[in-house]
Amino acid sequence: MFPHWSRRTHPETTLPGGAEQGPETDGPREPDPTARRALGLLALLELSEELGVPRDPSGIADAALFNLLGQYGCTRGALWLLNGGEGPDAVPLRAQGVPAELAVEVGERWARWFRGQGAGAPDPVVVDRIARLSPPPPGVEPAQRAELAVLAPMTAGERVIGILALGPRVGAAEFGAVELEMLRTSLNLLALTMENTTLRNRDLENRRRLRAAAARVRELETSARETTGSTATLRSPVRPTRGELRGVLASIHDERRPGVIAELRELDFSSAADVPPAMFDPDVTKRVVDAMLDDAVRRAPCGARIRLRLEHGADSAGAWVAVEVRDDGPGLPPERLRGIFAGGATGPGGLSLAEAKRLAESMGARVSADSDPERGTVLTLRLPAA
Amino acid sequence: MANEFSIDRAPREGVAVLRVSGRLDAKNAQQLMTACQDARGSGGGHVVLNLADVTFVASSGIGTLLALTEEFRDAGGAVHLVSLSDAVTSVVELLNLRQFLNIGVSEQGTLEAIGG
């Protein structure tokens, strides 16, 4: 099934004349089972230690995947988290040696299959063995194309929360009962870490939302005491002052990242070099950027990357500084892009994009949107440079 | 030998030689992947990793070496491991990986063999 695995030294990479290849061995030999088991236990301890270091889900996936590749002697593998909400079922967190599109296909097929296995935690599946079923599960074919040998569910209680796949073992060794049992133990550890990380991120996000809601209530109370007229949003005092935006954005990124991760999206922050100071109101800017991020999280599918970026430039109206919120989702059709500021959908911060746009304009800034089916959507807050 | 992980690129033209030292584990697996991928272009798809000063290799470190070997092989090149420390040698032997990994005795000999 995987012919190239049986020959472990490829002709094209063999050194000419066999020179300098190190001491020769007498060909493949069976590893000492006791030593292998001891090494497996050691790898499990290492995994436990490595997962004890706080990381985001991608970092956890990296640590676990490379540990398991080393533990079982595999050169390829992938790890998916299963999405309980809208969007694709399986979000690939890390795929090593498996093309991205194929990883998506494999994840989707096996997510459905593992979830359809009824009550209890499903067992790991050895692809070669399950391929003999008639008919084989629909995930077998893409798994064989991806040269994956075993797929194992990550479960929390009886809920399947992720899937790990590993390629064939170097030396054509099989995944026997002992290896599968140890794999199950490793995945229980991994599932626990993922669950804890998700819960911690959700907790941080809930606290942030509570703080935002409390601030909104205070603002509405103040507005109610004042005279009637325009909306509460527009009546907030706006005082643009000269300042650096980088620190404000870094703080927004740090505050929002756990919530974005809990929604299975990534959020990163970067800045162009030598960005000049801008004229802005920090509180208003934060609320506008929060609304832009809320919109990106709502629109972009699970697994999407959202980029918060600080840019600067100049045009006929003068120098400007811009905050971009860019996602790599599927983009918006022109009719939806035209109406992006007309809708009243509000995020957890309580501000719709339409309100955010008006609020930005009240401090002399403007908000615009652009979208491309190839590159996703970008929302831009442009402020005058100071 | 220090336990602190580092990767130093030898100052030479052609095939890149990366000298790795310290503990090779999950904390630096990605760093090693990235360093090798970045160095691939200068040597026709070949990179030499000198592991003489690696004091400990965890499962994640072995996983990284395996993944790199396959990734480079698929792209028509190779990662060559040379001057393995005792810590690396014992794990490679125990896992029976010697025939899969491209292992050489010295930097110079390997560079001459691959014409780098």
Q: What is the pLDDT along chain A (386 residues), one digit of tens a residue?
A: 223 333 333 333 333 333 344 444 444 455 566 777 777 888 889 998 888 887 788 888 889 999 999 999 999 999 998 876 555 688 888 999 999 999 999 999 999 899 888 767 788 999 999 999 888 888 999 999 999 999 999 988 878 889 999 999 987 788 988 889 889 999 999 998 988 888 888 888 888 888 888 877 777 777 777 655 555 444 556 788 999 999 999 999 999 998 888 887 889 999 999 999 999 999 899 999 999 999 998 888 877 889 999 999 999 889 999 999 999 888 888 888 888 888 666 655 567 888 899 999 999 999 999 998 778 899 999 999 98
A to B CB pairs, distance under 8 Å: 134
CA of A220 vs chain B CAs: smallest distance (Å): 48
Contact between residue A263 and residue A294 where contact means Cβ atoms under 8 Å apart: no
Nearest to A145 by CA among A167, A171, A119: A167
A182 touches chain B (CB under 8 A): no
Would you call B15 an interface residue with chain A, using a CB distance cutoff of 8 Å? Answer: no
pLDDT of A108 reads 92
CB A122 within 8 A of CB A152: no
Tokens of A306: 């959202």
Q: Do A15 and B110 touch (CB under 8 A)?
A: yes
Interchain contact, A70 vs B77, CB within 8 Å: no
Rounded to whole angstroms, what are the CA distances from B39 to A73, A126, B36, B79?
25, 36, 5, 11
Contacts of A182 in chain B (CB under 8 A): none
Q: Which residue from A70, A74, A96, A15 is spatially nearest to B15, judged by alpha carbons?
A: A15
Does the beta-carbon distance from A43 to B59 stay under 8 Å?
yes
Instruction: Find tokens 């999405």 and name the residue.
Output: A83
In angstroms, the separation between the Cα of residue B8 and the nearest Cα of chain A is: 22
Closest Cα in chain B to A13: B78
What residues in A contact B106, CB-CB < 8 Å? Answer: 20
From the CA of A34, how many Å to the nearest CA of chain B? 11
Give me the helix-helix angle, B59-74 and B26-39, nearest 10°: 20
Instruction: Give me the interface pTM, i.e. the ipTM.
Output: 0.90
What residues of A are in contact with residue B78 (Cβ under 8 Å)? 13
pLDDT for position A228: 54
Question: Does residue B97 belong to the interface with chain A, where contact is any CB pair within 8 Å?
Answer: yes
Asked if the C-beta of B66 comes within 8 angstroms of chain A's C-beta atoms, the answer is: yes
pLDDT for residue A5:
30
**A131 DSSP 8-state letter:** T
Q: Are B51 and B85 in contact (CB under 8 A)?
A: yes
Q: Check if the beta carbon of residue A21 is closer than 8 Å to that of residue B101.
A: no
- Tens digit of each residue's pLDDT, chain B (116 residues): 567 899 999 888 889 999 999 999 988 888 999 999 999 887 788 999 999 999 999 999 999 999 999 999 999 999 999 999 999 999 998 888 988 999 999 999 999 888 76
Query: Given an 8 Å threshold on Cβ–Cβ distance, is B59 in contact with A47?
Result: yes
Question: What are A332-376's pLDDT values in tens digits?
Answer: 888 888 888 886 666 555 678 888 999 999 999 999 999 987 788
Residue with tokens 């430039």: A313
pLDDT of res. A86? 56
Note the pLDDT of residue A288. 93
Q: Which residue has the tokens 């970067």?
A: A270
The Cα A167–Cα A77 span in angstroms is: 6
Q: Which residues of A touch B29 (CB under 8 A)?
A: 62-63, 66
> For B13, how many CA atoms within 13 A lie in the half-sphere containing its CB?
1
Partner B contacted by A93 (CB < 8 A): no
Residue A284, token pair as written in the block? 């208003």
Determine the distance in angstroms separating the CA of A176 from the nearest CA of chain B, rounded to an integer: 16
Does the model's pTM come out above 0.80?
no
The helix or strand, by DSSP H or E, that contains position A126, with its residue range, turns out to be strand A125-126
The predicted pLDDT at position B49 comes to 96
Question: Which of A2, A9, A14, A20 to mutate: most B Cβ within 10 Å?
Answer: A20
* d(C-alpha A90, C-alpha A198), whole Å: 16
Identify all chain B residues contacting A61, using CB atoms and an 8 Å cutoff.
none
Task: Show which of residues 52-71 on chain A sit within 8 Å of chain B, judged by CB atoms.
Answer: 53, 62-63, 65-71
CB contact under 8 A, B66 and A20: no
The answer to whether the CB atoms of A66 and B74 lie below 8 A apart is: no
Hey, are the CB atoms on B114 and A15 less than 8 Å from each other?
yes
